[in-house]
């Protein structure tokens, strides 16, 4: 099958399967998988123009809603975190899109940038995992309590099961977001999250991700929020940011006739449909997977891919 914007010829099941696999694994950590799908398009498919970033955002738009729906249904969506992330990332993404077209159209330069982004995210996660939560802290207690509840939930007969507890919002203001998660009280700084989200919006606009791949590790490693509560908010923020980015890339395309800027819609839809199925399955499976295993999988994938790009530049 020929994809005209990407100028590649590939069997349709390949991008579909790639979308499914990255979405299934990454959605469990609050990441759509776009951060890993972009290296697949660059290295495996040979899609290197700025349009690859726009196509990656299109994948997010199609894939993410199924995962968000699952998190909402299970009561694990912390809406205030979502609104803060959106408020910060959307303005930043406009700057990122301009930077991608004007300063990083060359595939070699973009690979360096992409490798640096992936390595940074991966190392933040690895450092957090090696350090680990302090025993007895809220983060440690909440994640352990949640996993224990899920394990006991699995042992019960379907007819007698009670619904798992839902996230409860206590306070949302300019200073903090305060919510209760499985008996533990969790707080996060509103201004800190907003500032981080703005920076992430710029990087996400350049790289072709909604920002969840950067925000999720920071939520876990810096703000010490349980991974089970941030996934839905990160995915929803990524979705809105990607909608804005795709519209902006499409709007700018006529102004750059010599350069492929608009998304490859056929390729993006194929990957997105695979991602939609993988996202729902990953969101549903997340509560059955130990939090540390989810984090190690994501960290390993990020460091491996980022290192590969860095080494290809050096040699």
DSSP assignment, residue 171? E
pLDDT at 277: 93
Pick from 306, 246, 227: which is nearest to 28 by CA? 227
Q: At 225, phi and psi to the nearest 5?
A: -95, 140
Longest CA–CA span in the chain (Å) reads: 63
Query: pLDDT tens per residue, the chain (315 residues)?
Result: 889 898 889 999 999 999 999 888 877 766 777 877 888 888 888 888 888 888 988 998 998 888 888 888 878 788 998 899 889 888 888 888 888 888 777 766 776 777 777 787 778 778 777 876 555 444 455 556 666 666 665 555 555 555 666 788 899 998 999 988 767 788 889 999 999 888 888 877 777 666 777 787 778 777 878 777 888 888 888 888 889 889 988 998 898 888 888 999 999 999 999 999 998 888 777 767 776 777 787 777 778 777 876 665 555
Three-state DSSP class for residue 208? coil
- Its sign, for the CA torsion 242, 245, 247, 250, is negative
Pick from 186, 119, 109, 116: which is nearest to 146 by CA? 186
**Token output for 51:** 């349009």
DSSP assignment, residue 9? E
- For residues 165-203, b (16+ Cβ closer than 10 Å) or e, as one string? eebeeeebeeebbbbebbebebebebeebbebbbbbbbb
Q: At 287, phi and psi to the nearest 5?
A: -70, -15
pLDDT at 138: 46
The helix or strand, by DSSP H or E, that contains position 2, with its residue range, turns out to be: strand 2-3
What's the N-to-C CA distance of the chain in angstroms? 33
This prediction has a pTM of 0.77
């Amino acid at each position: 099958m020929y994809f005209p914007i990407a100028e590649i010829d590939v069997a349709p099941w390949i991008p579909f399967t790639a979308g499914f696999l990255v979405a299934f694994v990454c959605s469990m950590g609050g990441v759509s998988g776009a951060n890993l799908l972009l290296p697949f398009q660059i290295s495996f498919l040979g899609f290197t123009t700025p349009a690859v970033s726009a196509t990656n955002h299109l994948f997010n738009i199609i894939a993410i809603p199924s995962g968000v729906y699952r998190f909402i249904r299970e009561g694990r969506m912390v809406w205030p975190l979502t609104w803060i992330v959106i408020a910060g990332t959307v303005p930043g993404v406009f700057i990122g899109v301009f930077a991608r077209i004007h300063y990083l159209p060359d595939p070699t330069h973009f690979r360096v940038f992409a490798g640096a982004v992936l390595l940074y995210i991966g190392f933040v996660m690895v450092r957090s995992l090696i350090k680990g939560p302090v025993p007895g802290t809220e983060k440690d207690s909440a994640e352990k309590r949640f996993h224990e509840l899920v394990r006991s939930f699995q042992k019960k007969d379907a007819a007698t099961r009670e619904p798992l507890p839902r996230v409860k919002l206590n306070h949302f203001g300019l200073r903090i977001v305060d919510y209760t998660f499985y008996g533990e009280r969790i707080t996060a700084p509103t201004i800190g999250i907003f500032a981080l989200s703005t920076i992430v919006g710029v990087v996400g606009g350049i790289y072709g991700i909604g920002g969840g791949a950067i925000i999720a590790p920071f939520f876990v490693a810096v703000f010490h929020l349980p991974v089970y509560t941030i996934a839905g908010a990160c995915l929803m923020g990524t979705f809105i940011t990607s909608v804005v980015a795709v519209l902006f890339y499409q709007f700018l395309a006529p102004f750059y006739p010599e350069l492929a800027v608009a998304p490859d819609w056929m390729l993006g839809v194929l990957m997105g449909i695979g991602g939609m199925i993988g996202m729902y399955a990953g969101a549903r499976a997340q509560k059955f997977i130990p939090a540390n295993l989810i984090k190690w999988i994501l960290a390993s994938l990020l460091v491996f891919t980022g290192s590969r790009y860095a080494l290809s530049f050096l040699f």
